[in-house]
Amino acid sequence: MGPKTEYWRVLTEPLVRQNPVTLQILGICSALAVTTTLATAFTMAASLTVVLTLAAGLVSVIRHHIPDTIRLIVQIVIIASLVIVIDQILQAYFAEISRALSVYVGLITTNCLVLGRTEAYARHNRPVAAMVDALGNGLGYSLVLILIGGIRELFGRGELFGARVLPLSESGGWFTPLSLMLLAPSAFFLLGLLVWAIRSWRPEQVEAREHEPPARAKVAE
């Protein structure tokens, strides 16, 4: 396998097969909190992908110089600095979205997806491979965010990116917004159903039983 196909595999593997949100349980907090509208979901996905890719590159470049005992602190400081930069950029150019995202941009610092990938992959691999892996994971995360954000905004408000898609019944159309879609529980339900759908399509992700049920009693014929 040449280096090109290897990079392609590292890039595409986390999209569905090793998706960070639905399989690795990484970065779920922000995935659910910011998905009430597509615009915030998209901003969050883009910010995280940028931070993750840059952090993985930086950690990988200095990987031979980080003492093993303080590597977590070094990684967190690198990530936190990148997050501060992103946060300042958002506040300067996208003030409205920045307010909607509230503390969740700052929380990219402790997003386990970022630390998880720098710790598990970037620390042992060359910069290019580390950044490709980070980009793939960022895209896998973005995919889930944009999917859930799209569903919640479409059915919760009848809009996509703030533009009317489904005509509302109060203005002569047929669609009544499901306000439940904008509340916290629906995000959990949607992600649960998404996990179910992916695992039905890819049965190798199904978790093993913790307890073997007894054989069903035979019904007398």
The answer to whether residues 88 and 94 touch, using CB atoms and an 8 Å cutoff, is no
Nearest residue (CB) to other proteins, 47 versus 186: 186
Site string for other proteins, 154-193 (x = CB under 8 A): -----------------------------xxxxxxx-xxx
Distance between CA atoms of residues 93 and 95, nearest Å: 6
Nearest residue (CB) to other proteins, 31 versus 39: 31
Residue selected from 10, 39, 83, 132 as contacting other proteins according to rule CB under 8 A: 83
Residue selected from 4, 64, 65, 211 as contacting other proteins according to rule CB under 8 A: 211
Rounded to 10 degrees, the C-alpha dihedral 99/102/106/110 comes to -150
Pairing relation of β-strands 163-164 and 159-160?
A: antiparallel
Residue selected from 28, 38, 44, 139 as contacting other proteins according to rule CB under 8 A: 28
Nearest residue (CB) to other proteins, 88 versus 176: 88
**CB under 8 A: which stretch of 26-34, 38-46, 59-67, 170-178 binds other proteins?**
26-34
Q: Show contacts with other proteins in window 106-145 (CB under 8 A).
A: 106-107, 109-112, 115
Nearest residue (CB) to other proteins, 69 versus 171: 69
Q: Is residue 72 at the binding interface for other proteins, with CB under 8 A as the rule?
A: yes
Query: Which distant-in-sequence residues (6+ apart) come within 8 Å of 167 by Cβ?
Result: 158, 173, 174, 175
Cα separations in angstroms, 17 against 10, 25, 53, 69, 198: 11, 13, 20, 33, 9
Cα separations in angstroms, 118 against 90, 106, 136, 158: 24, 18, 13, 39
Tell the burial category of 119 from Cβ atoms under 10 Å away from its Cβ (0-12, 13-18, 19+): middle
Nearest residue (CB) to other proteins, 161 versus 188: 188
Q: Which residue has the tokens 């950690």?
A: 59
Residue selected from 170, 204, 207, 221 as contacting other proteins according to rule CB under 8 A: 207
Residues that bind other proteins (CB under 8 A): 22-23, 25-30, 32-33, 72-73, 76-77, 80-81, 83-84, 87-88, 102-103, 106-107, 109-112, 115, 183-189, 191-193, 195-200, 203, 206-207, 209-211, 213
